[in-house]
């Protein structure tokens, strides 16, 4: 009983300490008669980072982020008007974005009178910061801007107008999807009902349960002010003062302030497609897409902090630009998968090479590994011609120790990959009884153990980082097409298929997708190098030449497989039979396996 009481008291003290947040130094700034409560951390001689919260938060939103930023920067957060310890003007007009942007400049000039500030905004904090960076005044007062889960309403309004005046299927889908996600903003325009609902939700415990239910936000990470219920209701003025006005009469302007746009693909309120016209109005734009939700400062504070620190470092003339920022640069328009870090094994030829080229065209940075370093270098050069950054490596995927070291080197030099394609593979044809032990060991070392090692090593890195990812394992139609001439190869690829399906279930809770790609007859170099067990050298060469000729006549090229791989990543598919015979064989094995067994008796080679 005594121990239980002590434990409860310690737990309560820990929660109270978290709720209190960092040891802020308090201050205030007044703009046009409105007092804004400010909170400071770090050495004031360092460059200033200004943190701007959204609805229904206060400066407490930055509890997990501010202390780490303060190790290098002077950090200032403030409670926006209508929230927390700041004044709450009556009516709707005082909450227009023009007034909020004036507040931001007033705080910036007070806390950093001699140098521009770096701004980080979340939700409505980002919305009002967009208004600020779109003004000419921002050129001398704002050094950079990190936008998290908050669009520029003028950009959004212009996107809506363009969709109405020149409708396309893509525009219409974007408008329809965002209308569903934003339906709550219509409710917020009503006079009485939202006040009643928010009064019920305004208890801190209820709000934490809501965030946990809709986004899986850890309740212990959510830090709210005692004024939460009042903040929710007074903050409705943000929606009433700005949404209709901006969507009806947008005034989209160009900003020259360096902007990093953090796009959360699982944002319950904002669809990623609404940011597609941002490059039109931001001349220095970076974009980072991750499978995360709206309240990133609570769900993944370390990831967001690292992202902010990397971007701030890139704005310095004395520090090298971090690789994560280099690959996030947007020059024209955002592309699917742009800025992702990709590892591909067996990248020197065939499917691996074509997949690298396809992802290079989408703006990925590529780590290209192959047993033959000269072919990896050739693929890297081809990717660079496509405008991508590519790094060649020599790797034998069957050497587990070397593969582990390679994964560690990738993490240390380039970062945790977003996508891994375990493509390296070999084949052995002929009867299982005729194959040598050396052939057997090499086959399973490359095809199965190599895939498992790559999935495990990089999968662990993705889990530790905590913001998802995708693993693609190249299996084969042979995985579900038994054959007397390919039994060993089929079993290695069947292992890849079932391992991938199992790993997909294991990693689902971490938002890491796993795909098994199952090509059929594809014209690659693997056939010309396939040993056929049980044959003398002359007969083996004749059989191999015959098979190679057949594959070439078949004419299904590896770039078509690469296109399926890219689609599988974008749509998080589980199993993808690629060629027509693979799709047919997959269904036969599932619904009429006896046909597969009959077909297995036919000799293909050997």
The model's pLDDT over 85-122, given as tens digits with 9 standing for 90+, comes to 999 999 999 999 999 999 999 999 999 999 999 999 99
Residue 255 contacts by C-beta under 8 Å, 6 or more apart in sequence?
133, 134, 138, 281, 282, 283
Domains of the chain by residue range: 2-330, 341-599
For residue 63, pLDDT over 80 is answered with yes
Strands laid side by side in the 34-41 sheet: 25-31, 34-41, 74-78, 48-52, 117-122, 142-148, 259-264, 285-290, 329-330
| Residue 49 DSSP class | E
pLDDT band for 170, please (50, 70, 90 cuts): confident
Note the pLDDT tens digit of each residue in 540-561: 566 666 766 656 666 689 999 9
Confidence band (pLDDT; 50, 70, 90) for 5?
Answer: very low
Q: Is residue 489 annotated as a catalytic residue, yes or no? A: yes
Q: What is the mean pLDDT of the chain?
A: 89
- Tell me 17's DSSP state: H
| E strand intervals along 512-595 | 512-518, 575-577
**Catalytic option among 275, 281, 489, 586:** 489
Radius of gyration of the chain (CA): 28
pLDDT level of residue 314 (50, 70, 90 thresholds):
very high
Cβ atoms < 10 Å from Cβ of 574: 13
Architecture in CATH for domain 341-599: 3-Layer(aba) Sandwich (3.40)
Distance between CA atoms of residues 123 and 298, nearest Å: 13
Q: What is the mean pLDDT of residues 38-44?
A: 97
User: Does 2-330 carry CATH code 3.30.1330.200?
Assistant: no
Nearest to 304 by CA among 548, 69, 32, 563: 69
- Which one has a higher pLDDT value, 604 or 277? 277
Rounded to an integer, the average pLDDT of 309-331 is 84
* CA pair distance 187, 207, nearest whole angstrom: 18
pLDDT of residue 130: 98
- Split at pLDDT 50, 70, 90, the class of 3 is very low
In 506-578 the beta strands, taken as DSSP E runs, fall at: 512-518, 575-577
pLDDT of 537 above 90: no
CA distance 489 to 66: 54
Count other C-beta atoms under 10 Å from residue 109's C-beta. Answer: 15
Residue 18 scores a pLDDT above 70: no
Cα(281)–Cα(523) distance, integer angstroms: 45
- Taking residue 369's Cβ as centre, other Cβ atoms within 10 Å add up to 26
- pLDDT at position 17: 44
Identify the residue with better confidence: 479 or 147. 147
Whether pTM exceeds 0.95: no
**Ramachandran area for residue 500 (φ above 0: left; ψ -120 to 50: alpha; else beta):** alpha
Would 2-330 and 341-599 be classified into the same CATH topology? yes
Q: Are 415 and 327 in contact (CB under 8 A)?
A: no
Tens digit of each residue's pLDDT (9 = 90 or more) over 490-513: 999 999 999 999 999 999 999 999
């Amino acid at each position: 009983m005594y121990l239980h009481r002590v434990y409860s008291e310690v737990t309560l003290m820990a929660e109270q300490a978290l709720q209190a947040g960092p040891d802020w130094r308090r201050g205030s700034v007044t703009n046009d008669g409105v007092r804004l409560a400010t909170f400071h951390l770090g050495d004031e001689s360092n460059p200033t980072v200004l943190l701007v919260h959204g609805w229904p938060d206060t400066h407490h939103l930055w509890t997990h982020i501010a202390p780490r930023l303060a190790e290098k920067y002077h950090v200032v957060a403030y409670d926006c008007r209508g929230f927390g310890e700041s004044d709450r003007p009556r009516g709707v007009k005082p909450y227009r974005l023009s007034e909020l942007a004036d507040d931001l400049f007033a705080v910036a000039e007070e806390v950093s009178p001699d140098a521009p500030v770096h701004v980080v905004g979340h939700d409505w904090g980002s919305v009002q910061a967009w208004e600020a960076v779109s003004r000419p005044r921002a050129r001398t007062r704002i050094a950079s801007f990190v936008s998290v889960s908050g669009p520029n309403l003028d950009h959004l309004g212009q996107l809506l107008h363009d969709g109405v005046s020149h409708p396309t299927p893509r525009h219409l889908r974007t408008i329809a999807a965002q209308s569903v996600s934003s339906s709550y903003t219509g409710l917020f325009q009503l006079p009485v009902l939202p006040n009643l609902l928010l009064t019920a939700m305004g208890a801190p415990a209820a709000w934490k349960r809501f965030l946990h239910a809709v986004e899986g936000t850890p309740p212990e990470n959510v830090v709210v002010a005692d004024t939460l219920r009042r903040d929710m209701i007074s903050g409705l003025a943000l929606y009433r003062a700005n949404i209709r006005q901006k969507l009806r009469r947008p005034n989209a302007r160009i900003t020259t302030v360096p902007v990093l746009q953090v796009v959360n693909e699982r944002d319950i309120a904002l669809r990623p497609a609404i940011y597609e016209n941002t490059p039109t109005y931001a001349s220095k734009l970076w974009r980072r897409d991750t499978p995360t939700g709206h309240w990133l400062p609570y769900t993944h504070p370390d990831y967001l902090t690292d992202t902010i620190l990397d971007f701030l470092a890139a704005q310095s003339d004395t520090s090298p630009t971090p690789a994560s920022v280099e690959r996030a640069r947007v020059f024209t328009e955002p592309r699917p998968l742009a800025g992702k870090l990709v590892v591909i094994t067996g990248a020197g030829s065939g499917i691996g090479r074509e997949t690298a080229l396809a992802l290079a065209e989408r703006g990925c940075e590529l780590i290209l590994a192959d047993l033959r370093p000269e072919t990896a270098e050739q693929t890297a050069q081809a990717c660079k011609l496509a405008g991508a950054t590519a790094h060649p490596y020599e790797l034998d995927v069957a050497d587990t120790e070397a593969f582990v070291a390679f994964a560690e080197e990738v993490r240390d030099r380039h970062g945790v990959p977003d996508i891994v394609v375990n493509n390296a593979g070999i084949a052995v044809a002929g009867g299982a009884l005729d194959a040598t032990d050396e052939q057997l060991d090499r086959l399973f070392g490359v095809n199965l153990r190599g895939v498992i090692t790559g999935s495990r090593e990089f999968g662990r890195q993705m889990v530790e980082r905590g913001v998802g990812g995708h693993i693609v394992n190249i299996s084969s139609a042979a995985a579900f097409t038994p054959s007397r001439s390919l039994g060993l190869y089929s079993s290695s690829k069947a292992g890849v298929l079932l391992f991938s399906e199992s790993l997909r279930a294991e990693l689902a809770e971490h938002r890491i997708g796993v795909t098994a790609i199952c090509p059929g007859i594809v014209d690659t170099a693997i056939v010309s190098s396939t040993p056929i067990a049980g044959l003398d050298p002359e007969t083996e060469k004749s059989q191999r030449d015959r098979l190679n000729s057949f594959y070439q006549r078949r004419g299904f090229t590896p770039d078509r497989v690469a296109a399926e791989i890219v689609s599988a990543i974008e749509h998080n598919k589980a199993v993808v039979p690629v060629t027509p015979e693979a799709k047919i064989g997959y269904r036969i094995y599932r619904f009429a396996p006896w046909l597969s067994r009959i077909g297995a008796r036919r000799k293909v080679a050997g």
